[in-house]
Each structure stands twice: as structure tokens, then as C-alpha cells.
Structure 1
Amino acid sequence: MSRRNRQKKEPLLALGRFHFTCAVILLAFFALFARAAWIQVISPDRLRLEGDLRSLRSAAVSNTSRGMVMDRNGEELAVSVPVQAVWADPKQIHAERSLDREQAWQALAEVLGVPHDRLLARVENPKRRFVYLQRQVTPAVAEYIRKLRLPGVHLRPEERRFYPTGEINAHLVGMTNIDGNGIEGIERAFNDWLTAQPGERKVRKDRMGRVIEDLGVVSEARQANNIELTIDQRIQALAYRSLKRAFEFHRATSASLVMLDVKTGEVLAMVNAPSFNPNNRSQYQGFRARNRAVTDTYEPGSTLKPMIVVSALENGVVKANSMIDTSPGWMRLGGKRVADTRNLGNISVETVLQRSSNMGMVRMAMEETPEQLLDTLYRFGLGIDSGMGLVGESTGMVPQRRRWSDIEQATLSFGYGVTVTPLQLAQAYAILANGGVRHPLTIIKRSQPPAGEQAVPRQHAEAVMHMLESVVGPGGTARNAAIAGYRVGGKTGTSRKAIAGGYGSDYVGLFAGVAPLSDPRLALVVVINEPQGDQYYGGQVAAPVFAEVMSGALQLLNIRPDAATEEQFQLAGQEAALVPHT
């Protein structure tokens, strides 16, 4: 009986195990199904991310060359030329025993101009995968290296910036570093505009690195932009040649020149001496690369006097035909002596400018308030940034004081105690020449010049310009600035260099002028800093440069001579009256 019972119980035990096993298997399948559903339906993002991290890659879309810099006539001032970079893979070099080819490595060292030992030291670490051997080699050198067929030595294309005009435009155009980023001048100020931005595409790659799917553009490539400057390279070259000659002849510390288009505010020429060659980076020095026409400031001396006369006319201190008593030719203010070279007596406002009378200027300035004088200087653009965005531009210094002494107000009237850049001084004379209208200055050529604003009354600006013509004529201080066939107006300036505790024995010679006066087109400022020798007055060192450059520019721009225009018109009218009308 017991045996029979045991036989009946055994199938029950086996059946239970079978059901238990099936339940476990079903539970496992359910768990797998639930996990798959969770991963694929409810929370698929993490798994997709893991897959994308292993397969998705960004591919750069090749960009174009850096934009060109050109003058107003399309002449190239800065261009990019194709070159090659030589680089090495030290791990590959050691793996393929490239160093065993000693003669080839010796030839490579010689063509790169690098000592053999130093070249080998760069590739001695077998764990490194990339090292530059030489940047920006010429195509000829690159072809020679390619023929050496050294394992682990490779070439990659890159660009080098080339400046066709060399030192003529070095301070204005500037230069780039070896990576093609602007570090000076226009190259730096407009670096983003000149630089192309590579685009980006998203692709899927297999484990062998092959593209199996193009997923589209992530960001569009931005093309590089060219820049067209307002500079006229013909005038720029003429100006640099003349300025450099004067700089060397007078053994000056530096010299600057700025020419503006009176009607538009465009910069036609901007040069400095000494200059440098931007094509030779090994000679680059920061202090030589600065654009002194906008970074360096000087006390303008007598070149400031026309602006002070405008202020006196505007505030009713004098009229254009007024007479001013400068006797006895000197005065004391606050224990300081202010004097002319000699007693000029009772003279007109025009003679005050013609003879550069400090006494006449002081008589006018002392009848005004300091606030009136400063307001006029600000309206002429002094003490204010030009807005052109050039690197390192200085605003100059127009003094601000709560209390003014008589001597401070007096010296301001003949250009001391205030500092300006050559560019600011050129703008002030352009405003005078343009009937008191100020146009925003620009170095970038514009399709349509913006409308100007009336900075000072037109009648006063025109009156002062008429007076400045006598400065260049007989009896004036700037006869060296006269140009045959053209009416010229301008003002000389000679200021002593300030030192700690007063003024030293060094001078700055300046000349600022405009031509032709019948219809002013060009304003030009020349600054000769610390000329050596017996000649240091502005009329001696700066005026001849003005005459040479202005004369050449007027001819290059086909501006008609106007010196005898009125007389010619009278003769023409008389001849016309004798001809019978038909």
C-alpha cells in the first residue's frame, strides 16, 4: 500500500517542478520584454545617446581664404597666399624606423634651416602624435620635402599673409600672426570681418571611420569679407616717400602725416616714420608697429590758433575786420611772461594769424570764458574719439579744471596745455575748410557718405579760412607751404616738448593746411617730432612736406588750379564782350 502511494506522489513532484520552471521562464521573458519596452518605448534617449556618442561625428566644411584689404581703387594691400606647414608624427617615425635614413633627415634640416640635432630632438618622444617642424614654407620647399618621402613627416596646406606695399602701409594695414589672426592695424581692428568661419556638418561613421550617413548641416560656413579702404595708394606712396625723406634729413624721432577728404571725412593718406616691413615677422617690435597718427599726442602749438579765433568770432569778442592792440609785445600773467618775437603794435585779426602773434591770441582769449574756449575745441573734434575703431587710438587731452588761472587760459590760446593726435588736428582743419560742417571720419569706403552736422557757424569758418591764406603768402610764417597754381591756407606750429617740471629743449614742428581754397577738397597735417639741428620750426620742417604731398595729390586727383581763377575769368569776360553775338 505504501509502495503504491509513493508511486502516485512521484508524478506530482515532477509536475510541480515543470510548472515552476515554466513560470520562471515566462517571468524571465516578461522581464526581458518589459526591459525592451522600457528602453525602446518609455526611455529610449539614453541608449540613443550612447549610440550617437560612438557613431556621430562633426565634419568641418572647408572655409575660404582670409579676406583681402584694398585701397579705394581696388589695389591690393593685404592678400593671402598658399603655403605649407611641415609636421611630424613621432610615433610613426619610430614605428617605421624613419630615423635610420640619416641623409634624408640631414637634407630636411638643411632645407628648413634648423640644426640637425634640434630637429631630431623635436621627434624623439615616441608617444607624441603631432609636432610642427616648420610653418609656412614655400611651395618649392614643400615639394622638395615631399620628394624626400620620409615616413612620419607630412605636409598640410595653410596660408601666409602677404603685404605688397610693404612698409608704406605697415602702420595702417597692420599684420597677422602665424595663425592668421590680426595683431596690428586694420588686420586686428576688423579681424572678425576678414576671417572666414568654417561650417559644420553632422555625419554618422562606422567603426572603420567611414561616413555611412550624412545628417545635414549644423552651422553654415561664413565666407571671409574683403575690406575696401578710403586710402588712395598713389597718394599714400607719395606721402610716405616725402615724409620719410624729411624724417631722415632732420634726424627726427618720428613723423606722421594725415590727409582727409574735406567733403566726405574719408582718410586718403595716413603714414608714419619710422616704419617696418610687415612681411618679416622676425623684425616685429610692438613699439615700431603702432600707428602714431592716431596713438601719439602732441601739444599743437600755433596750429590751434584758428580754432581759438573762430571761438572769439562766435562769442562776439572780435569781428573779422577788428584791430587788436598787441603793444608792447609782451605781458606778465601769474608771474609768467608771454611775448611775441617783437612788438607788432595794432594789428588785424588776420595779421594775428599771419604773424602768429601770441599777444593777439591772448588778448582775444582773455575776453572769453574757459568754458567757451573748450566748447569750441570739442566741436572741432578735439578730445573726442574719431569713431573709426583703429587700434590704440587716443582721444588726446582737453583740460578740465574747476578754476582756471590767467596763465593757463592764455597758454591754451596758443596751443599749450592741450594735446591732440595728428588725425584730430586734420579733422579740425577739414571742418574749417568745409564751412564748419563736420563729417564722421572713416577709413572704410562707404557707398554713400552720411550727412554732416554744422559744428561751427559757416561765416566764421569761411572768414578764418580766408585769413589762413595770408599765412602762406608773403609776410606769413608758412611760405614754404605755397603751391604754384593753387590757393593754399594753413598754419604753422612749433611746440616745445613737455618734461617733468616744465618744458625741455626738444621741439615738435607742425603744419596743417587746406587746398584749394576756392573749393576746399583736401586737408593735410604734417608732424615732425623732435627734429635735430638748427631747423625745428614748423615752417621749416613740416611745411615743405605739406607742399610736396599736397601738390602731388591735387594733380593725381585732377583738381583744377585756382590761384589765378578770378583774373582769368575777368580776362575771359572782356574777350567775350568783344565777340559779336550771332
Structure 2
Amino acid sequence: MFGLIALVFCGLIARTAYIQVISPDELRKQGDLRTHRQLSDDVLRGMITDRNGLELAISVPVNTVWADPAQVIEKNVLSKDREWRALADILDTDVDQLKQRVAANPKSRFVYLARHVSPAMADYIKNLNLYGVYLRPESKRYYPAAEVNAHVVGITNIDDHGIDGIEKLFDDSLTGESGKKNILRDAHGRVIEVLSEQAAKEAKNVTLSIDQRIQTLAYQELKKAVQYYQADSGSLVALDVNTGEILAMVNNPSYNPNNRKGISPSVMRNRAITDTFEPGSTLKPLAVISALEFGSIKANTVINTSPGWIMFGGRRVRDPINRGELSIAEILQKSSNVGTTKLALSLPHEQFLDAFYNVGFGSDTGTGLIGESAGIFYDRRRWSDFELATLSFGYGLSVTSLQLAQMYSVIGNGGVRRPLSILKLDKPHEGERVFSQKASEELLKMLETVVDDGGGKNAAVEGYRVAGKTGTSRKAVAGGYGNDYVGLFAGVAPVSNPRIALAVVINNPKGDVYYGGDVAAPVFSAVMGGALQILNIPNDKNSNDDIQLASVKGDRSSAY
């Protein structure tokens, strides 16, 4: 008996020595797991607002439902059929599948049952008193304006990380950083000591340049036009001429980011910055301003377009009819291909091509938006006369809706190009003069006649002087051009002191009405008129004052 007792004590002494001397770290670790805890102080994702502080994306409190399978199996909770059926009903799922999800791995300590349930649903689930089923507070992104801002604001995934649009572009700023606190608890779960603490880093809000009032108006008008003309899609961009801020950017079709069931990737595409097209006659002002800059023409020059066509080898550039002698303004009014061809060929091709680079074609606009296309503008040494001719009336290159709006903002800004911004600016970015003040003034006067006396009459805005240009381009297909069209209108207003540049693109309208002056110009008129009133810009229709283009003194002194 004494020998047996001595053997037991020797074993205990050996075990104690092993624990205390040879292998103490593992048991310390096990002890820490039972007493040390790390608490997380989560921060809500930052808000996205428009330039006036209106919320475009906010985080709302929700709950995640999860289960501890080990506890559920241990207490035989799955036998409570009534409670599990109630849980399955509120989560809109099959009760057998719900139970199977819990029972699939009995030793597991965590399994999701549902994400982002509302507070009311969470209260109902809590009252079911299912042992081993718990709630965890989380946040969910909510978009008050839904489809109106979907393409600009973007969306987050189920873990609240940005995956598109502004949500992705500024994800780091919007996310912030959760606080952490390491504590020591006793056997009853009471906090004994705070071992270390790291303060939370608050998320930042993002203020966009978008004016939600103009954005909503633009989306409504664009949606009506796309549906009425049964078009494939449409895009609209409005810019502040003075600052380069984007006041509105909308597309149709759109989607509801608050309900993403059945959404296709094509609908989520921000067409205003990703889709390119040949801009057609909306680019004819570039041929005019290039010739004015070079000095090959003056504002009162008359161009003979007879006999209404020009041959380049075996290729022909033509007008619908022989328009004879046309002034420069009439070339824009009547949208003469022969007229702009003669202007383009009247100056060195480097001078003409520089105009395209100067307004930003072939490069991004400076917004940094995800997915933005630079368009297509070929950089080659040799250009044939026919290629230069087609460039003069908007073929042979591809641009985005945003780039087209930028071109007209440069004209309205007195020839000064500024990087565009999707964020509200305290101070405009420094501009670069690319055209002279005089040439820009003269061109703007000519473009005003397009709306007053030319094909852009449907773009007129009551009480305001409007300058702009229509465009109707055929869509390219393999081997040439098909029978699908893009209807366009782009312009600026008010002419006496330009404030807004606006571009409207209607892609592939169906039926007999497809010209830009018919399908895009009315949208331009409605949105431009509403935007001018929203911004309280005074009428100038009866003003006899000289045109005062938006510019700053520093820009005027750098004119060449």
C-alpha cells in the first residue's frame, strides 16, 4: 500500500515538473484563451453625399443570424420543430435545409444562417429563444436615390466593402478602422483588467460634385427618351464650365442597388465613361476652331461647297444636296461635311490633329473613375486627306459621353481645359489654355445660330441663349457601317456667361426618328432649362451684352 501511494505521488511530482519546467507555454496559452478577450469597436462606413449634403449612400443597422452547431447538437435544440419552422419562415428558407446547415458539421462552432436581417426580424428571432442561435450586429449599405445614382455611387458587397463606383474608388476612406481592446476576464465573465486599447479610426465621408436635383431631373428625362424611342441605352453628362465638376452623370437602363436580384453586369456598366462611339457632327466645331486659330479663315469667310461632294481617289465625301456657298456659321447650321472637310484641309494636319488632343480625346478626363475609357484616337505619322476629312465630321475616332461634354466645356470656358472632378472642389484645378479666347468666342456665337436657325431648334431653352451642335452617327459593323444610329446633342448655356456644358447620347433609337436633333436635343432642352433654374442662373435671352466666356484673369493673360 505504501509503495502504491509513493508511486502515485511520484507520478504527480513528475507531471508537475513537466508542466512547470518543461512545457509551461501550452497551458499558459490555454489559460489565456479562457481569460483573455479582444473586443472590437466597429465603426459605420462613411456616407456619400452630393455637393449640397444630401445623402446618396448611408449605412443602416442590421443583424446577422448565426448558430453554434456544437451547442445546438449538445442540447438537442433541433428537436424544437415549431421554433425552427418559425425561424425558417422569417428567413424565407426551407426548414429542412436550415436544419441541415446546422447539423452538417456538429463539431463546428460557427455557421451563418442569414445576413443583414432587419431589426424587426432580429427581435422576432430573439424571442424564439433557440439555444445556440445568436444575433450579431452589423451594418448594411442603403442608397436613398436607388437607380438614379447607381452607376456613379456604385455598390458594396455583403461584407460592406466597395466593389463598384465611388464605393470602390474611395473604399479605404469610407471604411475607417475598428477599435480594438484586449481585456482580462474572470470565470464569471467580468472584466478584471484592460490590457491594451487601440482607438477606432472614424470613417470619412465623401462629398461628390453631383447636384442631386440636376441628377434626378437628368435621369427622368433620359429614361423617358430611351423608352419613347425604344433605344438600346442612353447617357447624359452635365459639367460645371467654370470648375470642371461633374454636376450630373446618368445612364439608362439602370438598376436598383438596394435589390440586386437578377441584375446583369451589362446593366451595371457606367456607359457614360465606358462606352465609346463615333461622335459624328458634334465634332465639327473642332474643324472650325482649328481653322480660326491657324488663320486660314475668319468668322465672316465664305466657303464654296459646290458641287456638294469631294472625291479622294475612289472615295467620296458628300452633303445630302449641293448647298453652294456657305458662311462658317452656315456650315455648322446645315452640318456640311464638304464645308468642314475644306476647313480641315486648309491647315497643316498637325494643327488640326492637335485640336483633338487639346480637348482630351485619346486620354482620360482626370476623374479617376473606375472603368473609364480613353476612347480611340489613333496616333500615327501619316494621315490621308480622306482620313482627315472623316475626322472633321466625327468619324474615324471614338469618344465617351464624358469626353464629349468635356470638349464643349473647353469651348464654353474660353478655350481653357480643366481636369474633370467627381468630387466637390473647394478651388478649381488649374486650367490649361488650349484655344484662344477670341476663337472660342467666335465659335460660340456660331454654335448659337445652330440652335436658333439650324438643326438644333429642339434644344432651345426659353429665356436663355444656348449654343450647341447636333450629331447623328452610324454605328460601325464588320466591313463598314450598318443601319443603327447614335443620336447626339452637346452644347453650353447661357451663351452670355457659360455655366453648364451638357452632352446627351441616345444609342440606337428604333423607328424612323433617329436624328440627334429629334431624339437628343429635346432631352438637352429639358435638362439644361431645369438645371439653369435650379442653380438660379439669370435669363440672358434678351441681353445685348457681349459674350463673356467663363475664365479667370490668369487664363486670359496666357492667351496666344
Relative to the length of structure 1, the TM-score reads 0.86
Which of 554, 557, 560 aligns to 2:532? It is 554
2:271 matched to which residue of 1? 292
Pairing of 1:84-123 with structure 2 (within 5 A): 84-123=63-102
Decide whether aligned partners of structure 1 residues 50 and 461 sit closer, same or farther in structure 2, where only a CA change above 3 A counts.
farther
2:310 matched to which residue of 1? 331
1:265 matched to which residue of 2? 244
2:424 matched to which residue of 1? 445
Once the two structures are TM-superposed, the CA of residue 169 in structure 1 deviates from its matched residue by 0.8
Pairing of 1:366-377 with structure 2 (within 5 A): 366-377=345-356
2:251–2:272 contact (8 Å) kept in structure 1? yes
Distance in 2 of aligned mates of 1:224 and 1:167: 25
Distance in 2 of aligned mates of 1:145 and 1:76: 31
Which of 44, 66, 83 aligns to 2:45? It is 66
Decide whether aligned partners of structure 1 residues 50 and 140 sit closer, same or farther in structure 2, where only a CA change above 3 A counts.
closer
2:460 paired with 1:482? yes
| Cα RMSD after superposing both structures | 2.2
2:491 paired with 1:534? no
1:42 matched to which residue of 2? none
Letter in 2 for 1:492: T
Letter in 2 for 1:480: N
Which of 79, 97, 100 aligns to 2:58? It is 79
Which of 155, 174, 178 aligns to 1:198? It is 178
Question: Aligned residues: percent identity?
Answer: 55
1:334–1:406 contact (8 Å) kept in structure 2? no
2:214 matched to which residue of 1? 235
1:174–1:185 contact (8 Å) kept in structure 2? yes
Q: Which stretch shows the higher mean deviation, 532-541 or 362-371? A: 362-371
Cα-to-partner distance string for 1:482-534 (whole Å, 9 max, x where unaligned)? 11111000000010001111111100000001110001111100000000000
Distance in 2 of aligned mates of 1:379 and 1:82: 49
Letter in 1 for 2:135: L
2:476 matched to which residue of 1? 498
Q: For residue 565 of structure 1, give the secondary structure of its aligned residue in structure 2.
A: coil
1:164 matched to which residue of 2? 144
Distance in 1 of aligned mates of 2:287 and 2:187: 79
Letter in 2 for 1:382: F
2:315 paired with 1:315? no
Q: For residue 231 of structure 1, give the secondary structure of its aligned residue in structure 2.
A: coil
2:489 matched to which residue of 1? 511
Once the two structures are TM-superposed, the CA of residue 399 in structure 1 deviates from its matched residue by 1.4
2:392 paired with 1:413? yes
2:113 matched to which residue of 1? 133
1:374–1:398 contact (8 Å) kept in structure 2? no
Once the two structures are TM-superposed, the CA of residue 198 in structure 1 deviates from its matched residue by 1.3
2:372 matched to which residue of 1? 393
2:156–2:167 contact (8 Å) kept in structure 1? yes
1:60–1:198 contact (8 Å) kept in structure 2? no
Which of 196, 207, 213 aligns to 1:216? It is 196
Distance in 1 of aligned mates of 2:406 and 2:363: 11
Which of 388, 400, 408 aligns to 1:429? It is 408
Letter in 2 for 1:340: D
1:352 matched to which residue of 2? 331
Letter in 1 for 2:64: A
Between the two proteins, the alignment pairs up a number of residues equal to: 524
Letter in 2 for 1:144: Y
Once the two structures are TM-superposed, the CA of residue 212 in structure 1 deviates from its matched residue by 4.5
Once the two structures are TM-superposed, the CA of residue 108 in structure 1 deviates from its matched residue by 0.9
2:123 paired with 1:149? no
Q: For residue 281 of structure 1, give the secondary structure of its aligned residue in structure 2.
A: coil
Once the two structures are TM-superposed, the CA of residue 52 in structure 1 deviates from its matched residue by 7.8
Letter in 1 for 2:140: R
Distance in 2 of aligned mates of 1:49 and 1:153: 31
Once the two structures are TM-superposed, the CA of residue 263 in structure 1 deviates from its matched residue by 0.7
Distance in 1 of aligned mates of 2:526 and 2:271: 21
Distance in 1 of aligned mates of 2:98 and 2:41: 31
2:257 paired with 1:278? yes
Decide whether aligned partners of structure 1 residues 201 and 152 sit closer, same or farther in structure 2, where only a CA change above 3 A counts.
closer
1:574 matched to which residue of 2? none
Distance in 2 of aligned mates of 1:103 and 1:48: 47
Distance in 2 of aligned mates of 1:63 and 1:158: 9
Q: For residue 222 of structure 1, give the secondary structure of its aligned residue in structure 2.
A: coil
Once the two structures are TM-superposed, the CA of residue 284 in structure 1 deviates from its matched residue by 2.8
Decide whether aligned partners of structure 1 residues 431 and 49 sit closer, same or farther in structure 2, where only a CA change above 3 A counts.
farther
Letter in 2 for 1:331: I
Once the two structures are TM-superposed, the CA of residue 196 in structure 1 deviates from its matched residue by 1.8
Cα-to-partner distance string for 1:388-420 (whole Å, 9 max, x where unaligned)? 121210011111223222211110110001111
Which of 461, 467, 470 aligns to 2:440? It is 461
Letter in 1 for 2:531: A
1:225 matched to which residue of 2? 204
| Structure 2 runs not aligned, ≥5 long | 1-16, 546-560
Once the two structures are TM-superposed, the CA of residue 457 in structure 1 deviates from its matched residue by 1.1
Decide whether aligned partners of structure 1 residues 439 and 192 sit closer, same or farther in structure 2, where only a CA change above 3 A counts.
same
2:320 matched to which residue of 1? 341
Once the two structures are TM-superposed, the CA of residue 215 in structure 1 deviates from its matched residue by 3.6
Cα-to-partner distance string for 1:200-228 (whole Å, 9 max, x where unaligned)? 345556788765443434x5421111111
Once the two structures are TM-superposed, the CA of residue 294 in structure 1 deviates from its matched residue by 0.6
Once the two structures are TM-superposed, the CA of residue 367 in structure 1 deviates from its matched residue by 2.3
Decide whether aligned partners of structure 1 residues 344 and 211 sit closer, same or farther in structure 2, where only a CA change above 3 A counts.
same
Distance in 2 of aligned mates of 1:390 and 1:326: 43
Q: For residue 86 of structure 2, give the secondary structure of its aligned residue in structure 1.
A: helix
Cα-to-partner distance string for 1:312-366 (whole Å, 9 max, x where unaligned)? 1112222222111111110111311111111111211111111111001100111
Q: For residue 249 of structure 2, give the secondary structure of its aligned residue in structure 1.
A: strand
1:63–1:222 contact (8 Å) kept in structure 2? no
Pairing of 1:169-180 with structure 2 (within 5 A): 169-180=149-160
1:544 matched to which residue of 2? 522
1:172–1:186 contact (8 Å) kept in structure 2? yes
1:55–1:206 contact (8 Å) kept in structure 2? no
Q: Which stretch shows the higher mean deviation, 279-288 or 161-170? A: 279-288
Once the two structures are TM-superposed, the CA of residue 437 in structure 1 deviates from its matched residue by 1.2
2:483 paired with 1:522? no
Letter in 1 for 2:170: F
Distance in 1 of aligned mates of 2:152 and 2:69: 42
2:43–2:200 contact (8 Å) kept in structure 1? no
2:445 paired with 1:470? no
Letter in 2 for 1:426: A
| Structure 1 runs not aligned, ≥5 long | 1-31, 40-45, 568-582
Letter in 2 for 1:76: E
Distance in 2 of aligned mates of 1:154 and 1:334: 79
Decide whether aligned partners of structure 1 residues 350 and 108 sit closer, same or farther in structure 2, where only a CA change above 3 A counts.
same
Decide whether aligned partners of structure 1 residues 58 and 109 sit closer, same or farther in structure 2, where only a CA change above 3 A counts.
closer
